[in-house]
Structure 1
Amino acid sequence: MLTAADVGLVTDVMKGINAPESLIQRITALLTSNSDGLVGTEVMPVGTGHFGGSTTGHRLGVNAQMAHQEAVDEFQKLADSLRTYSDAIKLWADEVRDVDGSTNAEMTMRAAALAQVTDHIGQARDQSSSTTMGDGQYTEPPAAGDGA
């Protein structure tokens, strides 16, 4: 049976990649149900005597024990690698959330600055226009000697 740590590992990795909750539950249930049949199942070490008392039999037994230990070590490395991978996925997900948050904050700040510039442009336009502007009337400028 999967341990709580194993289920947590799978769940963390799936959440880290933003998998839907329904998919996470289905995968966790599948792994748990398939592991139920393995409860109490262990690879039993083979003693050197299982291959007989000859020198060759003894050597086969020693080789079987070494192979068994290598298999145990490799499964441990695999479990450790999966835990490291899970941690890396969590870190990546946190960084993505941080970048998204920073980007959203920056975009909000830029939108506010743009709105402020747009307001200033509108105010400047309103102040520079007059009611006679564009009415088709021509006004003669004052003569140069009129003291204007």
Structure 2
Amino acid sequence: MDDERILILVKPDGVASGHIGEVVSRLEKKGYHIDDLKIVLATKDQLARHYKQLVDKPFYPEIESYMQEGPIVAMIASGTNIVKVFHRMAGATNPSDADFGTIRGDFGREWPDGILRNVVHSSDSVPAAEEEIGIWFPEKSAEKSD
């Protein structure tokens, strides 16, 4: 079985709360590789491409606003079955539903403004990962991990 690549974003709330190291540490403790990592300020274009299936939804402006609240840490990680495993590590999308011991269960919560701040994003499939890597790491989009 070949290694997969995944895009992981530590979202503005995760960065502001100091959880970058914990996300990286959890990946490394599982034996996965961090292939690239950078701090970015999300552009409207990147967000529209990343959330293309949600752009026409009435709640999309809230997503865009949230993802532009501060810096994001974008990383490419790789390893066998990393997409499936990191989804389990991240936990349920809604932090209130996420199991304790997951990133979202341990570090996420709901807020009075109703915006879903859930600490991390991770690609949900290998094809989605490659597409998302192209958005956040255009210089790496054609490369494959070793």
- TM-score norm. by structure 2 comes to 0.21
Which structure ranks higher in relative contact order (CA pairs < 8 Å, sequence separation ≥ 6)? Answer: 2
Structure with higher Rg: it is: 1
- Name whichever structure is richer in helix by fraction: 1
- TM-score norm. by structure 1 comes to 0.21
- Name whichever structure is richer in strand by fraction: 2
